[in-house]
Amino acid sequence: MEQLTIKSSTNKYPIFVGTKLRFKTQALIGKEYNNIMIITDSSVESLYLQDVVNSFSEDIKISYAVVAAGESSKDISNYYDLMTAAIKNGLDRHSLIIALGGGMVGDLAGFVAATYMRGIDFIQMPTTILAHDSSVGGKVAINHPEGKNLIGNFYPPQAVIYDVETLHSLSDKEIRSGYAEVIKHGLISDQLFFDQVRSFDITTKIKDEDLTEHILKGIAVKAKIVELDEKESNQRKYLNLGHTLGHALESELGYGQITHGEAVAIGMLFALQVSENIYNSPLPYKELYEWLDRNKYPFQLPSLSVETLLGRMKKDKKSRDLTVQMVLLKGVGQPTIETLDDELLSKYLDDFLRELGKS
């Protein structure tokens, strides 16, 4: 088992990454709770819920709540039902909520914990690769029909317990989705990490040691940035590389049609192309494109209106005064933030989508 510590503005919390950790949950938590509610989704429930429940001694009151798998569960209605469940289960200010699942569960359960009786402890137990990103840094939220994560808090967990064994039940699509964020952490931090991930074939089974290493390195990149700028006034924005177009694609195509990571992968390619144009410096567009292609990331999108996508990019909550801000790269490990003019952005986007469609 490997361990990292994250410093947030309100606490310090450990991240444990390794195998079989779900069987040692109580021991890893290292604090006693009178009452624990586990929140999970319908896919994870049958796979890992019982293992986590069994890791606790019998004198601890444990309840659980299950939401349907899928991003659409991250809504106000599930949020409110979980609040009601927490009340019915008798949780008080000294109780604990465990988020067992992917990013959706982490965000939803985290927001429940952040606002139940004005905030109770919670622990993230990610079961996807993608969640190596969302489980660290304290962002919790639910979606609004008008946009993702529009309702939420900054609320760090008490610990992140990452059992990499749970990643073997992921579909190919989910593995691709997760590795897009891993490679993003490479692109914004250093060439070595980027090259290391790029050398991997993620279409065949990845060994636990490699999963542990990639996740740890990804988390370390994120942690370093989040510690500098928890509330996203500055450097934390770098983590949004690929996300401005990525989020627009996700909401335009409808959540579920394309995974978050697949959309971000396309967004990163776009960011690299814009960066090359603006900074006139060579960037690994081709290398990234080839790796994504080799690993079966989807590039064939239905025909999309540039104008509509641009409208969606402007609604992104990172945007200010309805102009689009994008994370670009001057080089690998050298992220920057640029505000882009609508006309220029439209042209770049039009060119990019046309070229991507041809591939």
76 binds its own copies (CB under 8 A): yes
Q: Residues near 87 by Cβ (< 8 Å), separated by ≥ 6?
A: none
90 binds its own copies (CB under 8 A): yes
- Binding site annotation covers 244? no
CA distances from 240 to 3, 171, 261, 280 (A): 25, 24, 12, 22
**Whole-number Å distance between alpha carbons of 28 and 208:** 20
| Stretch of 149-157, 170-178, 207-215, 282-290 lying at the interface with its own copies (CB under 8 A) | 149-157
Burial of 246 (0-12, 13-18, 19+ CB in 10 A): buried
CA distances from 109 to 74, 96, 248, 282, 307 (A): 9, 11, 25, 42, 35
The encoded tokens of residue 166 equal 């749970």
Tell me how far the alpha carbon of residue 302 is from its chain's centroid: 25
146 binds its own copies (CB under 8 A): yes
320 binds its own copies (CB under 8 A): yes
| Stretch of 41-49, 99-107, 145-153, 213-221 lying at the interface with its own copies (CB under 8 A) | 145-153
154 binds its own copies (CB under 8 A): yes
| Contact characters 208-247, its own copies, x per CB under 8 A | -----------------------x----------------
| Contact characters 18-57, its own copies, x per CB under 8 A | ----------------x-----------------------
Pick 45 or 252: Cβ nearer its own copies: 252
Q: Which residues make beta-bridge pairs with 14?
A: 5
Q: Count CB neighbours of 309 within 10 A.
A: 21
Nearest C-alpha neighbor of 20 from the set 215, 212, 222? 212
Pick 18 or 137: Cβ nearer its own copies: 137
89 binds its own copies (CB under 8 A): no
Residue from 19, 54, 72, 153 in contact with its own copies (CB under 8 A) = 153
Q: Which residues make beta-bridge pairs with 16?
A: 3, 161
The encoded tokens of residue 131 equal 């969640």
Pick 10 or 42: Cβ nearer its own copies: 10
Residue from 59, 322, 358, 359 in contact with its own copies (CB under 8 A) = 322
Q: Do you know the residue count of the chain? A: 359
> What residues line the site for its own copies (CB under 8 A)?
9-10, 34, 76, 80, 83-84, 87, 90, 92-94, 114-119, 139, 141, 144, 146-147, 149-154, 231, 317-322
Binding-site residues for NAD(+), in ranges, read 127-128, 139, 148
- Would you list which residues are annotated within the binding site for Zn(2+)? 181, 243, 260
